[in-house]
Amino acid sequence: MNTKNFIPLDKLCTHYKVEMSFFNNLKDIGLIEIKTIEHSQYIHQNEIYDIEKIVRMYHELEVNIEGIDVVLNLLQKIEALQNELISVKNRLRLYEN
């Protein structure tokens, strides 16, 4: 498999100054997906934005992994509610005009 769009997990550990177990715990609770290619572990480059949010919460706010899971779920719900609100406002505008 081509590793062009994947980042080696060991490089991320060094860059973010976390242990490999940190990423394995994130994978175990379903926050990230780790691919194993030729005995090395990788993360797809599309997940970097989420990983940076997670690492920031972990280091700067000292939120544990379970708390990070809760925060990310709440942020997803807020985003869904905001999108629904925009949709309802758009439909309401149709009836007001």
Residue pLDDT, tens place only, 24-75: 999 999 999 999 988 999 999 999 999 999 999 999 999 999 999 999 999 9
pLDDT confidence tier of residue 95, bands split at 50, 70 and 90: confident
Backbone angles phi, psi at 36, to 5 degrees: -105, 120
pTM: 0.81
pLDDT for the residue numbered 43: 95
Boundaries of domain holding 58: 6-96
CA distances from 61 to 32, 33, 45, 73, 86 (A): 20, 23, 24, 17, 31
DSSP element (H, E) containing 65? helix 65-96
Phi and psi at 62, nearest 5°, equal 55, 40
Domain assignment present for residue 51? The answer is: yes
Question: Would 1 be classed as within a structural domain?
Answer: no
Span 65-93, average pLDDT: 96
Strand runs labelled E in the chain: 6-8, 35-37, 40-44
Report the number of distinct structural domains present in the chain: 1
Q: Does residue 37 belong to any structural domain of this protein?
A: yes
- Give CA–CA dist 87/70, Å, rounded: 26
Looking up residue 10, the CATH number of its domain turns out to be 1.10.1660.10
**pLDDT, position 1:** 61
